[in-house]
Every structure is written in structure tokens, then in C-alpha cells.
Amino acid sequence: MSDETHPERPAIALPEEFRRVGAPLVSEEPVPQCPVCEGGSHHPYAEGYDYELMTCANRWRFVQCDACRHVWLHPRPAIAELSTIYPPHYYAYNYAAKISPIAVKAKQWLDRGKMRGIVGALGRPPRSYLDIGCGDGRFLKSMEALGVPKESNYGLELDERVVAPLREQGFQAFCERVEDCQRIPEGSLDLITMFHVIEHVDDPASVVRQAARWLAPGGIFAVETPNIDSLDARLFHETYWGGYHIPRHWNLFAADTLARLFSDQGLQPVATRYQTGHSFWMYSFHHSLRYGATPRPRMAKWFDPVGGFLPFLAGFTGFDKVRAALGAKTSAILMLARKPE
């Protein structure tokens, strides 16, 4: 076990900007065991700071399991610090796609294609659905359009302000953690989706276990998450990769570690699809320009996915679309797993 930073690799220094804004140090909690295989031996993988929101000045470190190659944040922020690392504007920020109607249209088009592919893999019309991390409920609404009745159309989200209006519309939307939710009958769901959530949770295996319990025989669990086995992750490996989302991403997957997480809970991986990740590309460039050896904050702004230069956004999306079509492993993995009949 190597718990110290590599002696030959100098620690990445705190960018000056963090000192200027007075970013605090938050308390940490060690995670010595691999969250996928429970192995106790790991090596340093990457380190960095909260380049996106500057909520804290801690230097965070990802480690990689010597046995299964899974990557996780160790130590990670203590649970008591969640309100610091997820500031009140964090959720609002996710909905900032509203900045450009063209970006919204493009996103809807990508989402429709993604959902068609998932529903197609089910092989029967879905009668029940759950979206873990349902946000404003756009996938609940698209599944309603595909015939899922509201009484079996569930959404979980950790912000009461977004679930309350969905409940008023008749959806089964609740502000609860997956692990604590008792409202969904076991063996009842045809389809569960979880887009860009699993990397945020403390115990991904328990989330998959719960999803496996909720699925009906033959049901599909679709999980989308950043892919550490991608070109952008390799180029910006050392510290600036946008997919790190330090310190809010606690587990980082590649196709093999995600497949193992599913099969350990009795689900069979049936398809792996690579998705576009314009925001990872843009944040990677943004962070390296803003915090690099010669900071270029004005140029960095062009690469901010929120309010940056729209043609870059379109360009990175197109670039990943083409590469995914050619069989490359792009910034995000979408894996579908089936509960055996």
C-alpha cells in the first residue's frame, strides 16, 4: 500500500486564485478500501483542486486499485462538508444550459437518441421507470410520452425545489437517497436510468444493489458516467481533466470496472455505448488555461461550458460523435445491464 504522494512527482501547488478568494480547508474522510473490489492496495492516480467552483483549498487525490484498476477519491470530503462542496448555486448551475436555445435543442436531440437506444434494448414497451438524479424531470416526461403511466414513473433527486413541481404534476418524484428510498416495490421496474450520478455517491455498489432489487426480471439498468479510458482523460490525466470534477466525483470508472460493479450485484452487462462529453473537453482546456504555469483567465473563459463560446461546445460534441461512431472510447460510458429473467 502506498498512501503517500509519489516522491518523484512534486505536489501540484494551490493556484494563487484560491488564496485570493479565501477558499477554506474542509475536513476529510479516508476511504482506504476499493469501493468496487474491496481491495486494500492502491497507488496514486491524479491530484488537483476544486478548479470549477473553488469551494475549498484542499489538495485532493485520486488513487487506483492495484487489483481491479478502479479509481476513487481518497481521502474524500467528510459528509458534514457536503453543503460546502455543493454550494446552493450548484443545482441552478446545472440548469444553466438555458443560456442558449441552440444548445438546449442539441441536448434534446442527443437525449432522444440516447433514450431510444435504451428503450430498444429492453425489448418490450416499458410500463414502469425510475430516473435516479431526475433533475427537472425531462426523462420522466419523455417516458410518459412512451406510455409509462405517472403512477409508476419515478424520479429521485436531492433537491426538494425540483421534485415538488414534478410531484404536483403527478409523477412519483421524491427527495431521497437511493439507499434510503422505501417507496418503490421490489421487482417492479422495467427501466432504471442513472445519468452522471454514480460517480458522486459514496458507495456505488449499494446503489447498484438497490437498483437490482427494484428491477423486474428482464429489466434494464442504464448508467452513464465519465470514462477514464478516453482521449481527454489521458491528455489531461495529471490534474486538469474535466471529468474529475474534484472533489465532487468520488468514483471514476472504465468499462471493465463498471461491468464488474454490475455483475457483482447479479446484473448482466448487455451493451456499452460511448457518449459525447463536450463539458469535459471544455473544462479540461478551461482549467489548464486558467490555472496553468502562465494563467490565461480571459482565454479560459471561452472554454467555460457555462457561458463559453458556443461553437467550441458544438465542435467538441461533433468531434466526440464522429469518434464514437468510429469506435473510439469517448469521454463518457453508457452501460446497460439486464436483470436475468
Contacts with Zn ion by CB under 5 A lie at 34, 36-37, 39, 65, 67-68, 70
Provide the angle, in degrees to the nearest 10, between the axes of the packed helices 255-264 and 204-214: 50
Q: Alpha helix locations (H) across 123-276?
A: 138-145, 160-168, 204-214, 231-235, 255-264
Q: Give 72 or 174: the residue with its C-beta nearer to Zn ion.
A: 72
Can you read off the three cell numbers belonging to residue 119? 428503450
Please report how close the Cβ of residue 95 comes to Zn ion at its closest, in angstroms.
Answer: 35
Pairing of strands 42-48, 28-29: unpaired
Q: How far is CA 225 from the centre of its chain?
A: 5
- Fill in the amino acid letter for 54: M
**Distance from C-alpha of 276 to C-alpha of 255, rounded to nearest angstrom:** 15
Q: Give 63 or 184: the residue with its C-beta nearer to Zn ion.
A: 63
**Distance from C-alpha of 118 to C-alpha of 213, rounded to nearest angstrom:** 19
Q: Give 73 or 222: the residue with its C-beta nearer to Zn ion.
A: 73
Q: Give 66 or 176: the residue with its C-beta nearer to Zn ion.
A: 66
**Distance from C-alpha of 200 to C-alpha of 209, rounded to nearest angstrom:** 16
Please report how close the Cβ of residue 65 comes to Zn ion at its closest, in angstroms.
Answer: 3
Enumerate the β-bridge partners of residue 333: 225, 274
Q: Give 132 or 333: the residue with its C-beta nearer to Zn ion.
A: 333
Please report how close the Cβ of residue 264 comes to Zn ion at its closest, in angstroms.
Answer: 11
Q: Give 122 or 205: the residue with its C-beta nearer to Zn ion.
A: 205
Q: Kindly report the CA angle at 267 between 261 and 273, in degrees rounded to 5? A: 75
Q: Give 209 or 321: the residue with its C-beta nearer to Zn ion.
A: 209
Pairing of strands 71-73, 60-65: antiparallel
Do 129 and 191 contact (CB within 8 A), yes or no?
yes
Please report how close the Cβ of residue 32 comes to Zn ion at its closest, in angstroms.
Answer: 12
Please report how close the Cβ of residue 71 comes to Zn ion at its closest, in angstroms.
Answer: 9
Please report how close the Cβ of residue 67 comes to Zn ion at its closest, in angstroms.
Answer: 5
CB neighbours of residue 2 within 10 Å: 12
Please report how close the Cβ of residue 228 comes to Zn ion at its closest, in angstroms.
Answer: 13
